[in-house]
Every structure is written in structure tokens, then in C-alpha cells.
Structure 1
Amino acid sequence: MHLVNGKVGATYIVENISLRLETNRRLQALGLTKGTKITVLNNKKSGSVIFSVRGSRLAVGKEIATGLEVKEAE
């Protein structure tokens, strides 16, 4: 499932990041890597998603949220 389809309040684990190399490296620098737990804080109708990762909040647009494959955390 892609992060753009995530539900507010749900926790997910990043399975794959399918984005341009520059974007991928920037997200890694911000702490977003495979296996990282994230919690969706807000999911806008426009496709942008706000989520928490490693104690920080990040906001990404629809294109990036679509490139982040996640699974529900258990």
C-alpha cells in the first residue's frame, strides 16, 4: 500500500521507497529509511500527507507519498 492511502492515526512500516535518487537521499537524511515506523498525522484530499518519523514531523506531497510503500505495523 502507498502512504498516500494511509489512515490518520495509523502506524506503518516503510517497505520500499520508489523515488528519484535525490529525493530518496533527502528522505534518508531526514531519517526515513526502509523499516522505519511512521504515524500518519494528517492526510489531505489533495494527496499531501503529514506524518511523524523518529520524533519529527514531515509533510510530503502526493508524488512522494505515492512513492512510499508501507505496511501496517503490528
Structure 2
Amino acid sequence: MTLLEGKIGESYKVEDLTLNGMTQIRLEALGLTKGTTIKVLNNKKSGSVIFMVRGTRLAIGKKIAASIVIEGV
């Protein structure tokens, strides 16, 4: 499943990032790497996804969220 399909309040493990070069590098610099546990805080299907990663809240658009593959913890 992708991060866009994640449910609010649930924790997931990042399995894969299938983004273009610079976006992936930036997210990895912010701590979003393969194997990292994240928790979905808000998921507006028509807009952004807000999640907690390594103690920091991040908000990303639905196009980027659809490119992040996750698995339930």
C-alpha cells in the first residue's frame, strides 16, 4: 500500500521510495528512509498527508505520498 492509503493514527514501516532524484534525496535528509517507522496524523485524500517521522511532523502532497510504499507495523 502507499502512504496515501494510510489510516489516521496508524503506524507503518517505509518499504520503498519511488520518487525522482531530488525529492527522494530531500525526504531521506529529513529522516524518511527505508525501514523507518512513521505514524499518519492526517490524511486528506484530496490534499496533503501529514505524518510523524523520527519525532518531526512532515506534510507532503498526494503525488509524493502515492510514491511512498508502506507496510503495517
Same-fold call, TM cutoff 0.5: yes
1:43-58 maps to which residues of 2 (within 5 A)? Answer: 43-58=43-58
> Is the Cα contact below 8 Å between 2:2 and 2:70 reproduced in 1?
yes
User: Post-superposition shift, 1:47?
Assistant: 4.0
The corresponding residue for 1:36 is 36
SS of residue in 1 equivalent to 2:45: coil
The corresponding residue for 1:10 is 10
User: Post-superposition shift, 1:64?
Assistant: 0.5
1:62 aligns with 2:72: no
The corresponding residue for 1:72 is 72
User: Post-superposition shift, 1:48?
Assistant: 1.5
The corresponding residue for 1:21 is 21
How many pairs align?
Answer: 73
- Runs of 5+ consecutive residues of structure 1 not aligned to the other structure: none
TM-score normalised over the length of structure 2: 0.97
Q: CA RMSD in A?
A: 0.7
SS of residue in 2 equivalent to 1:15: strand
TM-score normalised over the length of structure 1: 0.96
- Runs of 5+ consecutive residues of structure 2 not aligned to the other structure: none
Deviating 4+ runs (over 3 angstroms): none
